[in-house]
């Protein structure tokens, strides 16, 4: 670790302000590309889940101490399958546990197939002020190939409906899909930008090993994927079109108008503190003893039984070595367009070499990726962190 890095990193973390991540593990169907902790279940005892979320928040407060809660993020899974009463109970428990900022951001992820006017209205009434909708594509054939249950029209209707109830609305798209050309993506992205408000999440399709797509790919049954050059062209096109539309990338896959960035996700990328509750939820909490990595049991049944019988759904609570803390700060921070303080790299020959190669640049006392370096960020991180 470069000399002086730990004191600087300590100043980067504002222990008074942090977020709460709540993982709802249930979906209507499992998408073939998804490697998140999600499960299909016909019968869900919402009252039981409410009680366990409340219990975990109380336990987390004992560990974290007093903080100012800046954000709550309901992720999954499909949180829009949660009853509004469940969402309300979680928000109330969080407000009881910690002080909250005056403009706390409360985000809920939603799928177009699980939203309706009454439910959105109820979510807004209990405090949700931002939604992120899993549109994934505005092409019906692509949605079918991705295993989605909604149509392009239903996706647009869901976004329109959300705008009636929430001041901040974002949606996701996946590109670099099977048989998608650069012109196809140009037309679809243009349509999305015409339809977008102030935030978009745009992800290249990644084939993860423990997914249905991963199995098909291994067997040679997932044809039409773009080669490396086409994927890079799509990425560059995305950066150019979003910037011209006033939604530049503030993170490698996230685009927003100035001031509309996801405050909760910035906690992750800026090495802040957050508590994670729910099956498989991770957290990072800094105390006087150091910075801890926490993790919960992944299986919903195991998690809920552990909460009820043992008083905790947590499976891991490890004190992180300083080198790991710094590594995480670098790995997450370089995803941001602004980069991270150059002082973290003090005396690093690797950084100088990457600057000479045009992959990184120094800007306003920060180190950040260049336009050339952004598409190969993973390779840059492997080089730096090796």
CATH, residue 45: 3.20.20.70
Q: 100 in the Ramachandran plot: left (φ > 0), alpha (ψ -120 to 50) or beta? A: beta
342, 347, 344: which is closest to 360 by C-alpha? Answer: 342
Q: How many domains, in total, are found in the chain?
A: 1
**349: in domain:** no
**9: in domain:** yes
For 172, the token pair is 């996701």
Taking the C-alpha atoms of residue 70 and residue 383, their distance in angstroms, rounded to an integer, is: 34
Q: What are phi and psi of 136, to 5 degrees?
A: 70, -35
3-state secondary structure of 266: helix
Confidence (pLDDT) at 115: 79
User: Is beta strand 290-296 parallel, antiparallel or unpaired with respect to 273-277?
Assistant: unpaired
Confidence (pLDDT) at 2: 45
**343: in domain:** no
Neighbours of 306 (CB within 10 A): 20
| Partners of 368 in beta bridges | 361
Taking the C-alpha atoms of residue 158 and residue 77, their distance in angstroms, rounded to an integer, is: 18
Taking the C-alpha atoms of residue 195 and residue 375, their distance in angstroms, rounded to an integer, is: 26
**382: in domain:** no
Confidence (pLDDT) at 348: 79
**334: in domain:** no
Handedness of CA 170, 175, 179, 182 (dihedral sign): positive
Mean pLDDT by 10 residues, the chain (386 residues): 49 70 95 92 93 98 96 96 97 98 96 86 97 97 96 95 95 97 98 94 95 94 94 96 97 97 95 96 94 97 98 97 90 95 82 94 94 94 90
Confidence (pLDDT) at 13: 60
Q: Read off the DSSP letter of residue 215.
A: H
**90: in domain:** yes
**346: in domain:** no
Q: Read off the DSSP letter of residue 80.
A: G
First to last CA, the chain: 12
Q: How many residues does the chain have?
A: 386
Structural domain that includes position 120:
5-269
Maximum Cα interatomic distance, the chain, rounded to a whole number of Å: 58
What number of CA atoms fall less than 13 Å from residue 351's CA on the CB side?
A: 19
Yes or no: say if 37 and 23 are a contact pair by the CB < 8 Å rule. Answer: yes
**73: in domain:** yes
Q: Read off the DSSP letter of residue 345.
A: G
């Amino acid at each position: 670790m470069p000399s002086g890095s730990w004191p600087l990193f300590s100043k980067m973390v504002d222990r008074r302000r942090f977020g709460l991540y709540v993982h709802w593990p249930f979906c209507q169907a499992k998408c073939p590309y998804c490697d998140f902790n999600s499960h299909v279940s016909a019968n869900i005892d919402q009252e039981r889940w409410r009680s366990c979320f409340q219990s975990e928040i109380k336990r987390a407060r004992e560990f974290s101490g007093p903080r100012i809660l800046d954000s709550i993020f309901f992720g999954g899974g499909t949180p829009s399958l949660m009853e509004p009463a469940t969402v309300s109970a979680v928000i109330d428990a969080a407000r009881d546990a910690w002080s909250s900022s005056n403009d706390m951001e409360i985000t809920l992820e939603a799928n177009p197939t699980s939203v309706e006017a009454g439910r959105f209205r109820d979510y807004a009434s209990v405090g949700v002020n931002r939604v992120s909708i899993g549109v994934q594509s505005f092409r019906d054939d692509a949605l079918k190939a991705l295993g989605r249950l909604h149509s392009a029209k239903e996706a647009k209707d869901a976004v329109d409906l959300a705008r009636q109830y929430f001041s901040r609305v974002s949606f996701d798209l996946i590109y670099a899909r099977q048989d998608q050309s650069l012109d196809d993506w140009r037309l679809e992205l243009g349509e999305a930008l015409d339809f977008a408000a102030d935030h978009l999440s745009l992800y290249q399709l990644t084939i993860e090993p423990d997914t249905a797509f991963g199995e098909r790919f291994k067997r040679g049954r997932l044809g039409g994927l773009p080669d490396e050059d086409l994927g890079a062209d799509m990425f560059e096109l995305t950066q150019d079109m979003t910037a011209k539309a006033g939604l530049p990338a503030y993170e490698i896959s996230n685009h927003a108008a100035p001031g509309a960035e996801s405050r909760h996700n910035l906690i992750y990328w800026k090495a802040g503190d957050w508590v994670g509750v729910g099956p498989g939820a991770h957290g990072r909490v800094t105390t006087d003893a150091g910075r801890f990595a926490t993790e919960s049991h992944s299986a919903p049944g195991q998690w809920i039984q552990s909460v009820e019988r043992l008083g905790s759904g947590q499976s891991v609570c490890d004190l992180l070595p300083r080198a790991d803390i710094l590594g995480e700060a670098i790995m997450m921070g370089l995803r941001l367009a602004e980069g991270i303080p150059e002082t973290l790299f003090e005396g690093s020959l690797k950084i100088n070499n990457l600057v000479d190669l045009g992959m990184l640049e120094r800007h306003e006392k920060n180190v950040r990726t260049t336009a050339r370096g952004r598409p190969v960020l993973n390779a840059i991180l492997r080089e730096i962190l090796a």
